[in-house]
Structure 1
Amino acid sequence: MLAALTSVPPFAKAMLQHIGQRLGVRASLECFTEVVFDGNSDKIRPDGLIVVDGGRGRQWHCLVEAKIGRTEIDADQLTKYLNLARSNNVPALLTISNQFVATPRHSPVRLPKSATKGVETFHWSWMSVVTEAMLLLNEYDFERPEQRFILNEMVRYFSHRSVAVTTFDRMNPEWKELNSKVQSGARLAKTAPEVEDSVAAWHQETRDLCLLLSRKLSHTVRLRLSRAHREDPTARMRDDCESLVATHRLSCTFDIPDAAAPLVVVADLQRRCISVSMTLAAPRDKQRASSRINWLLRQLTKTDPHGIHVRAYWPGRAPTTQASLADLRDNASVLESENRSLVPTSFEVLLVQDLAGKFSGSRTFIELLEGAVPTFYERVGERLRPYITPPPKLQRQQAESADDAGAPDGHHDEAVGNRVAPLPETTPMTTEQPDSS
């Protein structure tokens, strides 16, 4: 991977910008492996070192520690590397493993702030490296064919099963216990291991889903996070634990390029179901509820209706209405509100899968979830388009009447057909030459 970074500048630029390093035209990049530092009392040896020379004496160094297979980043070892970086004025440490994090600025290991003081920590999953390379191979026009060849060879190497680059394929061991407590009505504590570990596993799975969609769509799909959660993974963990305890739900939102709306995924532990949905604003210039409903249904004429539902939102305190797509095709009025004078403000199209006992299986839950999300996008997401209000039309009857009336004292505006006052007469401007004296 380090060799590919140095040999394929577009790949290096794409990867390093995720950790805040922009490679300019004059910047150079060097990578080293098995780095040894003088005076290293702990005799630890980082797996790599990245050096970016920005010119004019500006350099940035970053240690690299990588794990393969199911080996995870170790907190004690990471602390030693942070101390090594700090003592040698290395400002950053990058870890790479099969663990997933929401953004490269998050770490899969919880460390006290004192341990990271003076050294920034970053993390890449091996799958994120492969995904970024695949996106470049699909989208980027390489000027030098050997760069495409090298990057393609790297992807081919990492794709071999013996290399053990894996996706997130199972929830945490406490997942089943958490589901049992929810089903039995037991009280959950936001700091309980089954809650925190399940939320941490969900965070890894949401990142893996993001990469999965990116590979399938050949476009970069991003996980939508608030600014507070992007900057502070601890705050995200705390807030999501509180939400799980309060609602018994886990959720995430994805931004897909040029899609009609964000894609929302919800895992409901109480109902033991998965829902995937997108919400569109209803056409505001259509005055009847039936017209707005039919506008949406026309977009889904070729959609397999199995498991697809439509939920309508209404103004004020009017309750939402919901019906299956199959029922709506037979009778669109079943979605209308009891108050016939109201028109819907937005529609949510959702795929609901009831998993029953399979929901609590740590592996089956992930398999079914990763099948449901692409299925929904293929059946629904690709077909949805936001409504665009048509431009105003020329009032032709009014324009023709104005033309028939004539305009002897003025002229007509061709755009709207209204009479315009004649231009005032003007006196030509003269310029007097200055006296030569």
Structure 2
Amino acid sequence: MRPDYLKQGEIARLFPVLATTSKEGRTTSIVLSCLSRVQEFGNEMLTSVGVKIGKRSQIECYTEIVFQAEKIKPNDRPDGLIVVKNGSREWRALVEAKVGNATLGAEQIEKYRAIAKEQGCDAVITISNEFTSAIKNHPIADVRKSRSKIPVFHWSWMFILTNVGLLLANEEIEDTDQALLLNELRRFLSDDSAGVKGFERMPPEWSDINKLVSTGGKILAKSDEATSVIEAWHQETKDLSLILTRMTETYVHERLPRKHIADPVQRQKDELALLREDNQLQSTLDIPDAAAPLEIIADISRRTIDVGMLLKAPEDKKSSKARLNWLLRQIPNDALEGLTVRCNWPGRSEATQFSYADLLTAPELIEEGKSGLQVISFNIFLSKRLGARFTQQTNFIVDLEDIVPRFYREIGQNLVAWRKSAPKIKADRDDSEDVSVASISEDAEKDAI
């Protein structure tokens, strides 16, 4: 039954009766319908925007809505409404969705914010093929900068599809019929007709930045081109984390400092400084239970993608060669071409670097020029020079999304971090009597002699 405050609105349908050209309306209706009908899916998605879902919570979703006391233009009508009921309390969010190549607009979103404020709604949720590092940090800068107190959250379609896949893969759907329904949603969203896709190409400014760097130019502090490139990089690294999530069937997150999570503007400034000073774009991905975070560098000067992991050297091995052999035993002999090991040393001693192939045949190389020192950590990484493909908007993304998963599949997932062994009971103290007060007193007397 439609709520009293709605003048117009349909319950979100699994099989919406819409024009064949209304791909956007159809996709939105089907997803919102599943959101309200598959409990675990609804819980997962709404928890991501900070809504607490209890056992007695009810989720209702509507499409093509118009409020009773609203003077609204047809073009300003939200695509949907999500209502979460907890007893007498309600949490409501307007939904704006785009599919395919259609992008969200800041002006339209601000209108929905105004409607939300007027109608007592709690938030606006946007859905599109655009990506964001955090759900609360909108991909559109003007939306983030707005002074409106109505929060705007963002789900990418791939984020939704990834969550659906994980819930099914981990068998988290208790009801068999609901699991079947969610699998049908997965089939629908993964079909080309739904208009769902990943991040596919860098912006035109990517080529301009590459040309500037290759000719020895300096990226300006207020470069609009650099800002556009960084925003695209953020979208791609989020998509990359979702790709690895689907491949590993576990949540992979981009690792960000707290200050960057809280302040996207500061993140933009810091990454612009890195781009200007080092001509690099960087990202770090956290993979649950992996030996170390996955570190990714796109180096514009070298037109190279580096992906690797930093492992602490085992402290129970005395020589650097023994510590290196501990690492080499974890890597397949036919490892990827271009695999490199950087050895980090204590104090001011400079790092040394060798190809994996050279170390495999002559591990003693690690100790050359480092007499009396013990290696403290290893950075094992794959460095792939792309040449002209690096500067191309689409091929850069294609190669990045090939290299990163390939490194993790063939190297990263096989690595194990070193851990200190559990403390062992001493041979002369294997009985409680050996550590009694009397025994301790006796030991003290012996030491005093």
Instruction: Calculate the TM-score normalised by the size of structure 2.
Output: 0.87
Moved more, 256-265 or 113-122: 113-122
**Which structure 2 residues correspond to residues 320-339 of structure 1 after superposition, within 5 A?**
320-339=351-370
Instruction: Calculate the TM-score normalised by the size of structure 1.
Output: 0.89
- Specify every segment of 5 or more residues in structure 1 that has no aligned partner in the other structure, as ranges: 400-411, 424-437
Aligned residue number for residue 17 of structure 1:
47
Aligned residue number for residue 438 of structure 2:
421
**Which structure 2 residues correspond to residues 115-154 of structure 1 after superposition, within 5 A?**
115-154=146-185
Q: State yes or no: 1:207 paired with 2:238.
A: yes
Aligned residue number for residue 51 of structure 1:
83
Moved more, 259-268 or 23-32: 23-32
Structure 1 residue 39, shift from structure 2 partner: 3.8
Equivalent position SS for 2:203: coil
Q: 1:418 to 1:79 in 2, by over 3 A?
A: closer
Q: What per-residue deviation string (whole Å, max 9, x for no partner) do you get for residues 151-197 of structure 1?
A: 00011001111222111011011111100001111121132121000
Distance 1:38 1:291 in 2: 75
Is this contact kept in 1: 2:280–2:298, CA < 8 A? Answer: yes
Is this contact kept in 2: 1:73–1:108, CA < 8 A? Answer: no
Distance 2:439 2:106 in 1: 83
Q: 1:163 to 1:113 in 2, by over 3 A?
A: closer
Q: What per-residue deviation string (whole Å, max 9, x for no partner) do you get for residues 290-322 of structure 1?
A: 111111111114452411111110001101011
Is this contact kept in 2: 1:395–1:416, CA < 8 A? Answer: no
Aligned residue number for residue 58 of structure 2:
28
Is this contact kept in 2: 1:82–1:115, CA < 8 A? Answer: no
Greater percentage in helix: 2
Q: 1:342 to 1:284 in 2, by over 3 A?
A: same
Q: What per-residue deviation string (whole Å, max 9, x for no partner) do you get for residues 347-404 of structure 1?
A: 01100000111110010000000000010001111111011223355555xx4xxxxx
**Which structure 2 residues correspond to residues 71-82 of structure 1 after superposition, within 5 A?**
71-82=102-113
Letter in 2 for 1:220: Y
Q: Which has the higher Rg, Structure 1 or Structure 2?
A: 1
Q: 1:413 to 1:267 in 2, by over 3 A?
A: closer
Q: State yes or no: 1:250 paired with 2:281.
A: yes
Q: 1:419 to 1:33 in 2, by over 3 A?
A: closer
Distance 1:261 1:173 in 2: 34
State which of 150, 158, 163 in structure 1 corresponds to 2:194.
163
Distance 1:160 1:58 in 2: 38
Q: What per-residue deviation string (whole Å, max 9, x for no partner) do you get for residues 44-81 of structure 1?
A: 211000111122x2211100000011000011111111
Aligned residue number for residue 271 of structure 1:
302
Q: 1:80 to 1:284 in 2, by over 3 A?
A: same
Distance 1:117 1:343 in 2: 56
Aligned residue number for residue 435 of structure 1:
none
Structure 1 residue 40, shift from structure 2 partner: 3.0
Structure 1 residue 87, shift from structure 2 partner: 1.2
Aligned residue number for residue 40 of structure 1:
70
Q: 1:114 to 1:302 in 2, by over 3 A?
A: closer
Equivalent position SS for 1:284: coil
Percent of aligned positions with the same letter in both sequences? 39
Distance 1:245 1:265 in 2: 18
Aligned residue number for residue 405 of structure 2:
374
Equivalent position SS for 1:421: helix
Structure 1 residue 118, shift from structure 2 partner: 2.3
Q: State yes or no: 1:229 paired with 2:229.
A: no
Letter in 1 for 2:321: S
Structure 1 residue 416, shift from structure 2 partner: 8.9
* Count of residue correspondences: 408
Q: 1:159 to 1:193 in 2, by over 3 A?
A: same
Moved more, 82-91 or 167-176: 82-91
Q: 1:317 to 1:337 in 2, by over 3 A?
A: farther
Q: State yes or no: 1:172 paired with 2:189.
A: no
Distance 1:286 1:218 in 2: 35
